[in-house]
Amino acid sequence: MKDFRDKIVVVTGAGSGMGRAYAVEFARLGARLALNDFDAPALAETVRLLGIDEGERLHSAAFDVGDRAAMERFAGDVRTRLGHAHVVINNAGIEGVGKPVWATPAEAYTRVLHVNFHGVLNGTQAFLPQLIENGEGAIVNVSSIFGLIGPPNHADYSASKFAVRGFTEALMVELRGTRIGVHLVHPGGIATNIARQDRTQAFRHKYLSTPPEAIVRHVIRGIRRGTPKIVYGHGSLKTWLGSNLLPLRWLNPIIWRDMAGVIDRRDYPPSPLTVLPSRDRHHPEPDQDQAA
């Protein structure tokens, strides 16, 4: 798809960050917009910034993208009020709890998968029939560079983004040869407000630096060119290269060294290097000079 003028573009998570940037850029390109966010005041602020009244060029609705029935109602309302969707940007997402696997409660995995994966699943399945009926369109599913590697203290988030990756890559194969483009986006460190917890602020300051407007423009170029996998943003190139070229026995220590200084390590056991050797005949206790 090359021209977005008067095309109907759906954007989830449009209340801030990349979602708001998608709304602004597609509005500039003359598209009609269907916008969602869970945060109603933030979504209303995006609509205010666009300067477009609700009506034949814009429809917005605040709801949880993980709620299948709500997503289906949204798709039906978009069809009724605007027409069949042409482009669907499944962008909505939340951060994990920022703890290692053993300290992350089961409900945290459920919550993150509910939004980050099921939101993509619901948005794709609810709107794909409209694209098929149009005979053209684009599905854009937002994963992460943490859908390329498994970083410490992000297992819940990473699991959801790997799920988006697998789902979207399968969809690409299924829709091969059609005029419906399927695009998988792996953002690097984008300067959004996704990292809100105190324990993730060091991570945010080190990594989240690429302006959301920059990746949005890059993704739109990717849609126009038919690029299936779009990797862009701070740290994305080295992450993509590492995930493709390095065996895990080399890659994992590199990831740890890069991130060890910005993750909360209070839930970690003492390092094996700090544990004294056992006192037996095979491991005699070192003298004071050796221990130092």
- The 3-class secondary structure across the chain, one letter per residue, is CCCCCCCEEEECCCCCHHHHHHHHHHHHCCCEEEEEECCHHHHHHHHHHHCCCCCCCEEEEECCCCCHHHHHHHHHHHHHHCCCCCEEEECCCCCCCCCCHHHCCHHHHHHHHHHHCHHHHHHHHHHHHHHHHHCCEEEEEECCHHHCCCCCCCHHHHHHHHHHHHHHHHHHHHCCCCCEEEEEEEECEECCCCCCCHHHHHHHHHHCCECHHHHHHHHHHHHHHCCCEEEECECHHHHHHHHHHCCHHHHHHHHHHHHHHHCCCCCCCCCHHHCCCCCCCCCCCCCHHHHC
Of 109, 157, 207, 232, the catalytic one is 157
pLDDT 10s digits, 184-211: 999 987 766 554 566 556 666 666 768 8
In Å, how far are 217, 257, 283, 289 from 154, measured between CA atoms?
Answer: 27, 15, 37, 40
Q: pLDDT at residue 291 above 70? A: no
Q: What is the pLDDT of residue 292?
A: 32
Q: How far apart are CA 213 and CA 17, in angstroms?
A: 9
Q: Is 232 a catalytic residue?
A: no
Point out the least confidently predicted range of 3-12, 76-85, 182-191: 182-191
Q: What is the pLDDT of residue 199?
A: 58
Backbone phi, psi, residue 249, to 5°: -65, -20
pLDDT 10s digits, 227-269: 999 999 888 899 999 999 999 999 999 999 999 988 889 999 8
Q: Per-domain residue ranges for the chain? A: 8-291
Laid out side by side, the sheet with 87-90 consists of: 58-62, 32-37, 8-11, 87-90, 137-142, 180-187, 229-232
With pLDDT > 70 as the criterion, what percentage of the chain qualifies? Answer: 86
Angle at 10 between CA 9 and CA 14, to 5 degrees: 115
Give the residue with greater pLDDT, 70 vs 272. Answer: 70
Q: What is the mean pLDDT of the chain?
A: 89
Give the mean model confidence (pLDDT) for residues 110-125: 98
In Å, how far are 8, 87, 223, 262 from 213, measured between CA atoms?
Answer: 20, 18, 15, 26
Q: How far apart are CA 88 and CA 21, in angstroms?
A: 14
CATH of domain 8-291: 3.40.50.720
Q: pLDDT at residue 10 above 80? A: yes
In Å, how far are 132, 137, 223, 274, 290 from 102, measured between CA atoms?
Answer: 43, 42, 40, 21, 34
The residue to which tokens 């917890």 are assigned: 197
